[in-house]
Amino acid sequence: MKEYIISENLVVCSEYKIAEDPQFWEYLQSEDLQNFLQEIDNDILIVIWWDGSMLEAVASYYPKRRKFFGINYGNKWFLLHPQSVLKISSPKLISRKYPLISLRDDSSLHYAFNELDIKAWDGKMLDMKLQVHSNHSLNILWDGLLISTPAGSTWYNSSLWGPILSHDLNSYIITPKASWKPRNLESIILSNSQTLELSTSGRENTCEIYADWRLSASYDAHIDLEIKILEEEIELYIEQSYLRSWDDKILVEQGFSQS
C-alpha cells in the first residue's frame, strides 16, 4: 500500500481509498476530522482506514515516529477507533505501549507489530533447530512457524489454534505450522526477555519470511536467525471513553458476549 500524507499528523495508507472513493476524500476534509486534529498533539500520527493501514504506518514511520492513533473507515478495526470518536470534544488520550518483534540475520534486521511468518518455500518441510538460552533446544521438522506478539495473537495465530493473549502480557508466541516431528506440537510462549535462535539443519532448506504480510527476506541455504522483542515500543493512543471496549475486544475474540 502507498501512504498519503494529508497533513503533518494525518496519514492514509490506501491508494484505493484516495483514488476511487470521493466520499472518503470528503471525509478527510470534514469539519469533524479537522476539529479533532486540532485537539491532538502533532507528535501523534493519525492513521485512517483499517488495521492494515496501522501496520503499514508503523512499518513506514518507525523508528522516526512511535506514537499512533487510529480511526476506522473500513471493516476491520481491532487497533482503531470507530468514527464516532470525532464527535468527542476535548478528547483525552491514554497511551498503551505495544512491543515490536525483530528478526536479525547475518546482514539485516526486520521487525513486525503483529507477526513474523516463516514459510517453507519449495514444497520441502523446514528442518530447524530452536534454541532458548544456551541449554534449551528443540529440533523440529515442519512447514514453518508463526511468531506473534500479543497484539498479533488474534490474527493468523488464532486460525492456527494458537493462544490469544491479553495485550498487556510481556510474552510472545511461537505457533507451528504442520509440525511433523515432533507430531502435534503446540504453541510455545516465551517471555519478552527471552531470545529465540533459529537455525536450519540437515538437508537444504528454502524459506521466505513475511513481517506483517510484507515479504522481508528469502533464503535458499543454511540460515541463522535471532528473534527477540525490541526494547523500543510503539505507543497506541486510545481515547479515554473507549478504554473499556478496547480492552474487552480480547474477550469478545474468545467468544464472550457483552451485556
The helix/strand/coil state of 38 is helix
SS (H, E, C) 35-50: HHHHCCCCCCEEEEEC
For residues 78 and 59, give the distance between their C-alpha atoms in angstroms, rounded to a whole number: 17
- The two beta strands, 10-13 and 45-49, are parallel
CA angle 112, 51, 174 (to 5 degrees): 40
Q: Is 224 a catalytic residue?
A: no
Q: How far is CA 241 from CA 41, 54, 89, 167, 247, in A?
A: 18, 21, 12, 18, 12
Cα three-residue angle 50-51-52, rounded to 5 degrees: 90
Cell representation of residue 71? 480511526
Q: In angstroms, rounded to a whole number, what is the distance separating the alpha carbons of residues 108 and 233?
A: 20
Take residue 231 and report the three cell numbers written for it. Answer: 526494547
- Which residue in 21, 32, 41, 51 is the catalytic one? 51
CA–CA distance, 198 with 66 (Å, rounded to integer): 28
147, 118 Cβ separation under 8 angstroms: yes
All cell numbers assigned to 212: 506483517
State which amino acid sits at residue 97: K
Alpha helix stretches (DSSP H) within 72-169: 156-159
* N- to C-terminal Cα separation, the chain: 38
Catalogue the active-site residues: 51
